[in-house]
Amino acid sequence: MTSPALREPEHQVSPRAVRYWRIAAGLQAAVLIVPAVVAYVWVPVRPWWATVLLVLLVLVTAGRVVVMPGLRYRIHRWEVTPTAIFTRSGWVSREERIAPLNRVQTVDSHQSPTMRPFKLATITVTTASAAGPVRIDCLDEAVARRVVAELTEITGTSEGDAT
């Protein structure tokens, strides 16, 4: 007997997450590429493999800036039901997490200084699980507030002991 396939979570993250991830990846790429280019230019004699490595570094990081945000947006999904929170994340490797709401211990919302201009927030749901907390990254601020309130209400009325 085969088990039924797990459906994908209903909601996507904010479309603004794509621009946020692209800018964050670009800044990370600059931190890698600028010192490498400076070192490459500064050294008077360079072996052929140094040029190959620099070109590969530029291509890989540029690919990450261009490709990763769109992939992440299509893959990252989330859903809260009356009984569980369900997330799917990752762009190289994928992770799907389902946490029963009667196991929820805390619900936290976080907005980093770099997320504020994009009006994005992250929700972290801590459960009694060895796998660690469940995170929903890059939600609209208003959606994050609504989901935190919804989770707080649902878990507050739960009869479970969250252990």
The string of DSSP letters for 6-68 reads PPPPSEE--THHHHHHHHHHHHHHHHHHHHHHHHHHH-SS--HHHHHHHHHHHHHHHHHHHHH
Indicate whether 3 belongs to any domain.
no
Indicate whether 1 belongs to any domain.
no
Asked if residue 85 and residue 143 are part of one domain, the reply reads yes
The residue that leads in pLDDT, 130 or 146, is 146
The pLDDT value given to residue 161? 56
Query: 12, 138 in Cβ contact below 8 A?
Result: no
What pTM did the predictor assign?
Answer: 0.83
The pLDDT value given to residue 121? 97
pLDDT digits (tens, 9 = 90+) for 113-139: 999 999 999 999 998 888 889 999 999
The pLDDT value given to residue 155? 80
Q: Could you tell me the residue range of the domain that residue 116 belongs to?
A: 77-156
84: pLDDT strictly greater than 70: yes
For 131, the token pair is 């796998």
Span 73-88, average pLDDT: 93
Looking at every residue in the chain, the average pLDDT score rounds to 90
The CATH number that applies at residue 119 is 2.30.29.30
Burial of 69-88, coded b for 16+ CB within 10 Å and e otherwise, reads beebbebbbbbbeeebbbbb
The pLDDT value given to residue 159? 63
Asked if residue 27 and residue 90 are part of one domain, the reply reads no
Residues near 64 by Cβ (< 8 Å), separated by ≥ 6? Answer: 25, 29
6: pLDDT strictly greater than 80: no
Indicate whether 97 belongs to any domain.
yes
Q: Answer with the one of 44, 73, 102 that is the final residue of a domain.
A: 73
Span 23-50, average pLDDT: 92
